[in-house]
Structure formats: C-alpha cells, structure tokens
Amino acid sequence: MCKLYCLSIFIAAAAVCGCKEKESPFIQEGEFFIQDENWVDAEKAFKDALAEGPELAKAHLGLARIYQHNQKYPDVIYSIYHYDRFFELNPDAESENLFKEERQKVEEQLVKMAVDSSPEVTRIRNSAQAQESAWGREKTQLQNQIARLEEQLRAARSSAVSTTPSRTTQETTRPSRTTQGSTSDEPIIYTVTKQDTLSKIAGRFYRDTSKWTIIYEANKDTLPNPNSLKVGQSLVIPQLEE
C-alpha cells in the first residue's frame, strides 16, 4: 500500500514539474528507492539531485515524503521545509489537494510532538500514570484483605458448626466464671471509624480497654502494629465467653 501511495505522489508531481527533472538520474533513482521503501538510499539520491540542481522540485518533494515517513523530530520540520520549497518551485502544485493534504498531516504531527514533549504535559501524564498505579496497588491490597477476612469467617463458622454441643451437653459442660475472658468461635466484623484505637474498640465490645490485645492478635495479618488502624478498615472482633 505504501509503495503504491508513494508512487501516486510522484505521478502527480510529474504533471506539474519540468522536463529537466525527468532527465535527472538522481530523481529516477530516488523514486525507485522510495517504491522499494529504501529510505536511506532514496534520501541520498534526492540530496545528490539537489546538489546537481537546487531548483529540482521533485527532489524537494521526495525529501519531504521521506522525512514525513520518519515521523520523528526534527525530520518533520525538514519535511515541511521541503514541501514549501516544492510549492515555491511549482506554484501550480498548490492547487493539488494531494500535496496540500500531505503537508497538513506533517504540520499536525509537529504540533502533536510539541504538545506531547512539553514539560507540563509530561508532568500531568506522569502524575496520572503514578496515580493509576497507586489505585491498582490499593485495589489489590483491599482485595487481599477481603479474601483473608472471608477465609477467617469461613473457618470460624466451620469450626463453630463442628464443635457446637447438644443442649444437654451445654447444660452439663457450661464453663465456670473462671474461664471468662477466653474467646468463642463466632467473631464480629467491625469497621474502623475516625479516632478509633484498639483500646476504645475493646472498651466498646468487652467493657475492658485492657483486652485490646485480643483484637490485635486476631488481626495481626492486617495490622503491622497496634497503632496502624485506618478508617474503613475491617477488624475481626472475637466474642468473649460469659
């Protein structure tokens, strides 16, 4: 497709360029190399043509197409320059929409490069990418925490079902008051609010702030230390037997 398109560009150019250019072997070489997508040798051939005759419009057109194909800075600037020289040497070519559209594409490409490379755009893009990465990490942490809590609940419920004694057994084996303070099998899930501490939570559920260690031990996998509570965090609150 690229070969056919490049060839159509030069066929259109031939209609508006002079006979002298048709006789230049460098122009013919350059056109051949472009059809073969050999951009390096094509560039050399067209430069040799301009060294032979700076007024050869088709040589300027060839270089404009090559630099447009490269799609990098500063080649796009060279492409615009050679398109303008082509129009200058062939005023009739300005009426050809094909040439004008190609130059417009290069100009738009240059503007995009300038915007993309500006410090402010780079800063905003980097900031957005960093924020997106942070959100991804936070989401993963929350998913892992939820999975751990669900696993704890499943294990607790399974243990409660398998160890629940009959009514008669409960009456004959009810623990004495001396065992108060040990934990039962069915925990409560509590969501941390602002200004919560483990002591406050223990006081709320156990009416004894000194029992905060029970809550801490039950949540060690999500609490690096006793002071690392976060608002919205879910805690397992073991129930104390009466």
Residue 23: pLDDT over 80 = no
How many other C-beta atoms lie within 10 A of the C-beta of residue 59? 29
Residue 93 and residue 86 in contact, taking contact as beta carbons nearer than 8 Å = yes
Which token pair is 219?
A: 């949540």
Q: How far is CA 217 from CA 198, 202, 213, 225, in A?
A: 11, 12, 6, 10
Please give the pLDDT value at position 3: 47
Polymer length in residues for the chain: 242
Query: pLDDT tens digits for 120-172?
Result: 556 655 776 777 777 778 888 888 989 999 888 888 888 776 655 555 444 44
Q: Domain coordinates of the chain in residue numbers?
A: 2-116, 182-242
Dig out the tokens for 169 from the structure: 């057994």
Q: Which fold has domain 2-116?
A: 1.25.40
pLDDT at 106: 85
Which stretch of 29-38, 66-75, 172-181, 195-204 has the lowest confidence by average pLDDT? 172-181
Q: Is the distance from CB of 204 to CB of 226 less than 8 angstroms?
A: no
Provide the whole-model pTM.
0.45
Mean pLDDT for the chain overall:
78
What gap in Å lies between CA 30 and CA 220, rounded to an integer? 73
Note the CATH architecture for domain 182-242: Roll (3.10)
